[in-house]
Amino acid sequence: MIRRVLIANRGEIALRVIRTCRELAIATVAVYSEADVDAPHVAAADEAVPIGPAPATDSYLNIPKIIEAARRAKADAVHPGYGFLSESAAFAQTCEEAGLTFIGPPSAVIARAGSKTAAREAVRAAGVPVVPGGLPVSQADADLAQAIRGVGYPALLKAVAGGGGKGMRVVRSAEEITDAIGAARREVQRAFGDGTLYVERLIERPRHVEVQILADAHGQMVHLFERDCTLQRRYQKVVEEAPAPTLAPGVRERLTQAGLAAARAVGYVNAGTVEFLLQGDGERAEFFFLEINARLQVEHPVTEEVTGIDLVRAQLVIAAGEPLPFSQPDIVCRGHAVECRIYAEDSARLLPQSGRLLRYREPHGTGIRLDSGVREGQTITVHYDPMIAKLTAYAETRAAAFARVTDALRAFEILGVRHNVAFLLALLARPEVAACETDTGFIEAHLDELAARPSAQIQRAAAAIAAFVVARGPSPVRATAAPMPDPWQTLGRLDW
């Protein structure tokens, strides 16, 4: 039985874990850096322990400090969330050696799943289709170049360690090889401390689909159907939905079974995701294994909404050594859910932003779910991921879910930092999105249209309105008045 969980993370995922732990009467311990001393997750936990300066390497990525915090707080388990140390086999192993229950896969499984090349070979042996490619003979430039020529153009250089698109470089001709290898190696060395690269054939214009897996330590493994994460930029997901809207029934059955086979091939335990690239339409569509994410995914809320299963609760049950309380026939997919990631960013340049949230009001309504980790007055810092919130809408149909999430985005009030709400509204309004005629390169191909900058005149007017709103303070008739539109949100959509 798990009694006290330390959450080795911050922001919305820390609050998400706290919520389920509270429902199960499990005590929670937050950790926080100097930059997060007044963050909402710190106040929400039963206890909070400081772990060092703002830079993640000195706090949220510092394994000894987190283990010491767990000891000080007398925690008996650690939940890593996602990002930071969530896919670190070394962290999971250190928790195991310290007598802490790691709420995720065992360290050996993380190591197998985390090695892209080892996972590819294990999955290939299990009969799951994989993208052509592999590890070169050595990491010498000449051998990498030979591997690229062997795969054929266009090729994709990828990092063996890590993920999130770090180090990915497309190579379309022999002339691009040298620069691509150098740039990819430098980026992955900085990001992961391991510059090892491998090569895949680039699948042109694919959709991105993934299968959610749960596996207990008693041999039971189930899937919770699939998600579509095609709308992304620079290999970072922006909008996710469940179920995948383009899958024919036969393809869905083959895809989910392939996800289970891939997870079994690495001996998976706990919650995880098997990612695929999808090409073609109808029953003749093909899919190829991409990777296994050995953690809870950012986009897990859409799966929870369509299945009614709390994935964090399932993680805790499995980590406690208990069997899953349901089997595959019990899991039913109903309705449709879509999630939008709200970021502090300059969408036109795809650059994160920082600043103080002068005004922050979340939308509410039927079928609307908000997973956030910020509060009004808080500062979005340069030290961490600039996600403000995740907005999820659920409805009986895809069209109704998209209508709900669009209305909710329009009601979102964020003032003080640039954000991507107007960008998301422009994206969801595209007819290609409604018709599912997109691929993983869609956003970048249409970025100029989606993130059109307002004129200087509009920006000056918006700044004046913003200053007035802040100076005036809360309206005494706020409860009955219509919401005042956020000028930073609406200025990109005004027809002046």
Vertex 420 angle, CA 404 and 336, to 5°:
30
For residue 25, pLDDT over 50 is answered with: yes
Write down the pLDDT at residue 190.
Answer: 78
Residue 109 · residue 299 · CB < 8 Å: no
Residue 454: half-sphere exposure toward Cβ, Cα within 13 Å: 22
For residues 166 and 187, the answer to whether their CB atoms sit within 8 Å is: yes
pLDDT tens-digit map of 242-283 = 999 999 999 999 999 999 999 999 999 999 999 999 999 999
CA distance 492 to 484: 16
Instruction: Give me 241's structure tokens.
Output: 């939905």
Give the CATH fold of the 207-450 domain.
Answer: D-amino Acid Aminotransferase; Chain A, domain 1 (3.30.470)
CATH 3.30.470.20-classified regions of the chain: 207-450
In the chain, which residues fall in CATH 3.30.1490.20? 132-201
71 catalytically annotated: no
Domain formed by 4-103, architecture: 3-Layer(aba) Sandwich (3.40)
Check residue 235 and give its pLDDT.
83
- Count of alpha carbons within 13 angstroms of residue 124, beta-carbon side: 12
Comparison of pLDDT for 489 and 204, the residue scoring more: 204
Each residue's pLDDT tens digit, 28-72: 999 999 999 999 999 999 999 999 999 999 999 999 999 999 999
Which tens digit of pLDDT belongs to each residue from 199-254?
988 988 999 999 999 999 999 999 999 999 999 998 899 999 999 999 999 999 99
Determine the angle formed by the axes of helices 107-114 and 116-125, rounding to 10 degrees: 90
Question: Where does the pLDDT of residue 477 fall: very low under 50, low under 70, confident under 90, or very high at 90 and above?
Answer: very low
Question: Mean pLDDT in the chain?
Answer: 91
CA dist 378 → 13, 39, 373 (Å)? 17, 7, 10
Question: Which residue in the block uniquely carries the two structure tokens 């249409």?
Answer: 446
Which H, E and C letters describe the chain, residue by residue?
CCCEEEECCCHHHHHHHHHHHHHCCCEEEEEECHHHCCCHHHHHCCEEEECCCCCHHHCCCCHHHHHHHHHHCCCCEEECCCCCCCCCHHHHHHHHHCCCEECCCCHHHHHHHHCHHHHHHHHHHCCCCECCEECCCCCCHHHHHHHHHHHCCCEEEEECCCCCCCCCEEECCHHHHHHHHHHHHHHHHHHHCCCCEEEEECCCCCEEEEEEEEECCCCCEEEEEEEEEEEEECCEEEEEEECCCCCCHHHHHHHHHHHHHHHHHCCCCEEEEEEEEEECCHHHCEEEEEEEECCCCCCHHHHHHHHCCCHHHHHHHHHCCCCCCCCHHHCCCCCEEEEEEEECEECCCCEECCEECCEEECCCCCCEEEEECCCCCCEECCCCCCEEEEEEEEECCHHHHHHHHHHHHHHCEEECCCCCHHHHHHHHCCHHHHCCCCCCCHHHHCHHHHCCCCCHHHHHHHHHHHHHHHHHCCCCCCCCCCCCCCHHHHCCCCCC
User: What values do phi and psi take at 130, rounded to 5?
Assistant: -125, 155
State both tokens at 193.
Answer: 């401390």
- Going across the sheet that includes 270-279, the strands are 286-293, 270-279, 207-215, 221-233, 236-242, 336-343, 387-395, 368-372
Q: Give the separation between CA 285 and CA 457, rounded to whole angstroms.
A: 49
Stretch(es) of the chain classified as CATH 3.40.50.20? 4-103
Please give the CATH architecture assigned to the domain spanning 132-201: 2-Layer Sandwich (3.30)
Torsional sign, CA 7, 9, 15, 19 = negative
Find, among 25, 12, 21, the residue nearest to 78 by Cα: 21
Cβ–Cβ < 8 Å for 40, 15: yes
Q: List, in order, residues 6 or more apart from 416 with CB less than 8 Å away.
A: 355, 356, 357, 358, 359
Pairing of strands 379-380, 77-79: unpaired
Give yes or no for a contact between 11 and 387, defined as CB atoms under 8 angstroms apart: yes
| The one catalytic residue among 16, 120, 295, 341 | 295
Say which residue the tokens 């497309």 belong to.
Answer: 170
pLDDT, tens digit (0-9, with 9 covering 90-100), for 314-344: 999 999 999 999 999 999 999 999 999 999 9
Under 8 Å between Cβ of 200 and 168: no
Q: What pLDDT score was predicted for residue 434?
A: 97
Tokens standing for 261? 């086979």
What pLDDT, on a 0 to 100 scale, did the predictor assign at position 472? Answer: 66
How distant, in Å, are the alpha carbons of 135, 244, 256, 257 from that of 128? 18, 19, 11, 9
Angstrom distance (rounded) from CA 193 to CA 310: 35
Cis peptide before 154 (omega within 30 of 0): yes
List the single range of 135-149, 156-170, 250-264 with lowest mean pLDDT: 156-170
Q: Which residues contact 478 (CB under 8 A, 6 or more apart)?
A: none
| Residue 374 pLDDT | 97
At residue 132, the pLDDT reads: 84
- Residue 30 CA to residue 32 CA, distance in Å, equals 7
Give residue-wise pLDDT tens across range 458-473.
Answer: 555 656 666 665 666 6
Taking the mean position of all CA atoms in its chain, how far away is CA 121? 25
Query: Which of these ranges, 54-63, 176-185, 294-303, 458-467, has the smallest mean pLDDT?
Result: 458-467
Asked whether the predicted pLDDT for residue 366 surpasses 90, the reply is: yes
